[in-house]
Amino acid sequence: MFTPNDYNYMSQALGLAKQGIYTTHPNPRVGCVIVKDGIIVGEGFHARAGEPHAEVHALRMAGEKAKGATAYVTLEPCSHTGRTPPCATALIKAGVKRVIAAMQDPNPLVAGSGLAMLKAAGIETTNGLLEIEARKLNAGFIKRMEHGLPWVRVKLAMSLDGRTAMQSGESMWITGDAARRDVQFLRAKASAILTGSGTVLMDNPSLNVRLSSTDLAIQGDIRQAIRIIIDSQLKTPSTAKLFDLSGDIWIFTSEQHDKEKAQALISKGAKLFPMAMQQKHLSLTAIMQELAKQQINEIHVEAGATLCGALLQENLVDEMIIYMAPHIMGCNTRGLFSLPHLQQMKDRIDIRIDDIRAIGNDWRITAKPNYNLNP
């Protein structure tokens, strides 16, 4: 169905889309390549929400050469007017002959209507070319559209014997400089960074991106991810370091929260999300559903064993990034996840390791839970 050249041009479009990996929130990352007579005449990617989409950039570059050309786009061209006009209309006006999309847009506002509009205009349309790669690029956006939940990545650091902190809670630093710098790129990709009040009290973290535009190879200012704290009892102190840094702070708490504590946090710029308690706890699933409604695609979690274990227990973790350091911390220390319900071997949670690589003197393990394989 597709030629080797088709694969080559779509690969280039995917490479362009990756240039927006740190900037497009809450929009998907999209790239476009326009080819005529075997020559690339236009290319572009979507950089930021509210700015032109990938197809528009590529069409502007192609100019009159777009007529009769083939457009390779990593996501179905939009057919509705949002903050920008429909890309399907722009492709029709430019006179392209053929449009190949890596995948249909899961957004209900599009969902095949962009390709249908092109087809109705007499343009040859196909999709599915390198779809797996395209879905990986926008895993958060796709999950939000298809399931009403954000993509959740949990970052953990452990010793060779699987320990994350001393019994006292001391954990700085398990890994080396290279691994900690690597985490900054994960933070920069995310729509939001999530933690619990216990981590705020113990570590007083900044949870911000401390890289430059040059480090990220982007134009313009760095987008700071929204920092989210799960804090049912509003234990977060208004003196916490993160309130002195730029960026939004959201706190999910109980509907029965202390009004005086709430006002102190609000006065420091926090936005509170009161939630109903379920069995003396906030429902993490309900929180994730609310975050999806707030257009949060991708969540990066840096938290302790209790919150990480609860997320895993509720089947909310999509990916784990585990940094393993070459030292031993001993038995009187804390583990990666608090999962007291796991009592027998049959209860264990199966995971699939996708990648292991050295980061400085540490090892980075990328893994995904196989929930469907668990009893």
Instruction: Return the active site residues.
Output: 55
Cα–Cα–Cα angle for 137, 21, 113, rounded to 5 degrees: 55
Cα–Cα–Cα angle for 367, 371, 373, rounded to 5 degrees: 105
CA-based nearest residue to 76, from 28, 38, 7 = 28
Which residue shows structure tokens 């999300």?
A: 273
Looking at residue 166, its amino acid is M
Q: Distance between CA atoms of 157 and 323, rounded to whole angstroms?
A: 5
DSSP letters of 142-166? HHHHHHSS-EEEEEEEEETTSEEEE
Question: Which residues, other chains included, contact 331 with Cβ-Cβ below 8 Å and sequence gap of 6+?
Answer: none
Which residue shows structure tokens 């032109």?
A: 52
Q: Is residue 89 a contact partner of residue 99, using CB atoms and an 8 Å limit?
A: no
Q: Over the Cα atoms of the chain, what is R_g?
A: 23
Q: Distance between CA atoms of 47 and 25, rounded to whole angstroms?
A: 9
**Tokens representing residue 368 in the block:** 């995904």
